[in-house]
Every structure is written in C-alpha cells, then in structure tokens.
Amino acid sequence: MATVETGARLHFGFQNLALAHERLYGGVGVALAEPRVRVTAESATDVVCDDPVVEPFVADAVSVLGVEGARVTVEERFERHVGLGSGTQLALATLVAVARAHDEYADSRTVAPELGRGGRSGVGVACFEHGGFVVDAGHPTERFTTSPPAEGSWEVPRPMVRRDLPSSWRFVLVTPAATTGQSGAAEDESMRSVVERADPGIADDISLLLTRRLLPAVAERDVAEFGAAVARLGRLNGAWYADEQGGVYRPPAGDLIDSLGDCPVVHGAGQSSWGPTVYGVTRAADVSEARAAAADALDDAGCEGRVLTAAPRNRGATVEE
C-alpha cells in the first residue's frame, strides 16, 4: 500500500506564444499547499477506484506501468478544470501510488508525456516534483505543429528557475461556481489558434517583466512587487487570449480581479490558467481582510463561489508506504 499527497498549483502565464521567437511557451507558476490531492493504492488484479473521476487515471497508470491492476482510494481531491492543475496532480499522484504499491519506481517527469501531461507547460510536473515557484524553459519553436502531437512524443519542459517562496506569503483563491475553464481538445484548439496569431511584441514585454521585476521580487522576497509582477504577467497573457476567452480575462474573472485588486492588502490579482479561479497575493497576517475582500468580489459580480487561502508549497509530493 502507498499513499501520495500533493497540492494544487497556480499558472500565472507563459513567457512566449509567438512563432516569431526561438522558444515557445515557458510556463510560470507556483505550487500551493491547498487544496490537496491524496490517493492510496494497493496492488490488485484489476482496476478498482472509489471515485469515477479518478478511475481513468488508475487505468492509465496500470497500462503505462504494465502491472496487472490496482485498487485506489481517493482520500482528498479538488475540482477539475478550474485553473488549479488538478488533472496533472491526480495523474502523477495516481501513477506514483500505483507504482509504489507494486514495489516499483516511476519517474513522474519521464512518464508524464505518456499520460498526456506536460505537453506545453512544465509547471505542473515541476510542482509535483519539487514544489516552489517555477519558471520552465519551454520548447524550441521549430517543434510546433498545427495538429496535436501524439501522446508520449514530447519531453516535459525543464525548470530553469525554481525557488522557495516565503512561508508568510498567502494566495487567496476565488473560484466562481457553475463554470469551468477549457481543457482537452477544446484547449488544444484554442492554444494553437492563439499561437498562430500571437503578437511577438507581448513576449518582449514579458521578458523584461520577468528579468527586471518578477525574478528580483522572488529573490528579494518582496511580496508587493511579486504580486504586481504576476498580475502584470497575467494581463499580458490575456492580451494573447482575448479572442478565445471573451476578453483579457475569462468572464467573470475580470470583475473579480478588479474588485479584489482594490483591497489594500492584496498585492496583485489575476486569473490562473484558463480560469475560472482568480488569485490574489497577500500575507498571512492579512488573510482575514483578503478573504473578506474576495467574498465581497463574488457578491459584487453576482456570483456564488468558494474562497480559499493557501500558502506556497515548497516541497514536492510526499509518499507514505
């Protein structure tokens, strides 16, 4: 029996989506302590899972590992397709748990492509491996194809920056109800459409933002500058996505971000991945005020939803055997 536990992630955006530059994508994000995924696996002669959403991940793990079967219990997980990276975390946690239950070792980075993970951004895989703040190296632009590559035919982009974030930092997470972000084939189609018409000048602005503001803020542990920089990164990415998601942010994210950003203890707000989850950067000492501002943002937007706060997770997935 083996239990694997990991956390969500925020995806702040990409460094480049334009074919005019030498490298494509290059994800920027951070691992979160909450919400979490926790799965337990036992060896078995067939595929058994107490959660129908996770059962396909168990079947994929069994197939990739070449083992007879597994019985998986899902002790904790969070919503899919809300911008927090649950698919990659569930796929990798299930893979590692099933492997350990069979007394085998599976390298999550190596196997991720066979599970259909890490094709564009390497942030989710890197967060599973080591946690922290991550900037990945992206792919050579010459590898871009107009149709999706076959699963397993790519390598997960490697992190070129990985840093711990201060334990006193917090992220307030606002997830509107009854709406989900893009995923699967629809996401692939949207991303390829964005890449084929992306303005290369935006990537130039992001390059300066990354090297002159965001990375120095991480190094100097400056939460206000970090929040402002990731919020700016999100707005620049949104200019690429505007035609695909109905604006710089996917509604109602824009209204939530505007409202949350007015709170004096929130040092920058943005949309994670395709949304709908919106994040705000704050400090542990200011969590109560930030959460109240997040609840007010939902009310102002006329939305039901959920508000959570999470610390950065400065470690990878844990395994108990």
Please tell me the pTM assigned to this model: 0.94
For the record, the structure tokens of 311 come out as: 């610390």
Give the Cα separation of 119 and 220 in Å (integer): 32
Crossing angle of helices 287-300 and 253-261, in 10° steps, is 140
How far are the Cα atoms of 9, 54, 170, 196 from residue 87, in angstroms, in the given order?
11, 9, 23, 26
Q: Cα–Cα distance between 277 and 84 in angstroms, integer?
A: 7
What's the rounded Cα separation, in Å, for the pair 123 and 245? 22
Q: Considering only CA atoms, which of 303, 291, 313, 242 is closest in space to residue 271?
A: 242
Amino acid identity, position 162: R
- Other beta carbons within 10 Å of 130: 17
Q: Look at the chain and report how many structural domains it folds into.
A: 1
DSSP sequence for 140-187: EGGG--SSPPPTTSS-PPPEEEEE---TTEEEEEEEETT-----HHHH
CA 198/CA 192 separation, integer angstroms: 10
Question: Would you give per-residue pLDDT tens digits along the chain (321 residues)?
Answer: 999 999 999 999 999 999 999 999 999 999 999 999 999 999 999 999 999 999 999 999 999 999 999 999 999 999 999 999 999 999 999 999 999 999 999 999 999 999 999 999 999 999 999 999 999 999 999 989 877 777 778 999 999 999 999 999 999 999 999 676 666 667 778 788 899 999 999 999 999 999 999 999 999 999 999 999 999 999 999 999 998 898 999 999 999 999 999 999 999 999 999 999 999 999 999 999 999 999 999 999 999 999 999 999 999 999 999
Angle between helices 200-209 and 223-245 (to 10 degrees): 170
pLDDT at 191: 85
Using DSSP, state whether 101 is helix, strand or coil: helix
Q: What is the pLDDT of residue 190?
A: 79
Range of the domain at 63: 2-320
What kind and span of H or E run contains 7?
A: strand 2-16
Separation between Cα atoms, residue 96 and residue 76, nearest integer Å: 16
Instruction: Provide the pLDDT for residue 182.
Output: 60
Q: What is the CATH number of the domain that holds 235?
A: 3.30.230.120
pLDDT of 94 reads 98
Name the strand (E) or helix (H) holding 9.
strand 2-16
Give the burial string for 48-79 (b: 16+ CB within 10 Å, else e).
Answer: ebeeeebbebbbbbbebbebebbbbbbeebbb
Q: What's at 48, amino acid-wise?
A: V
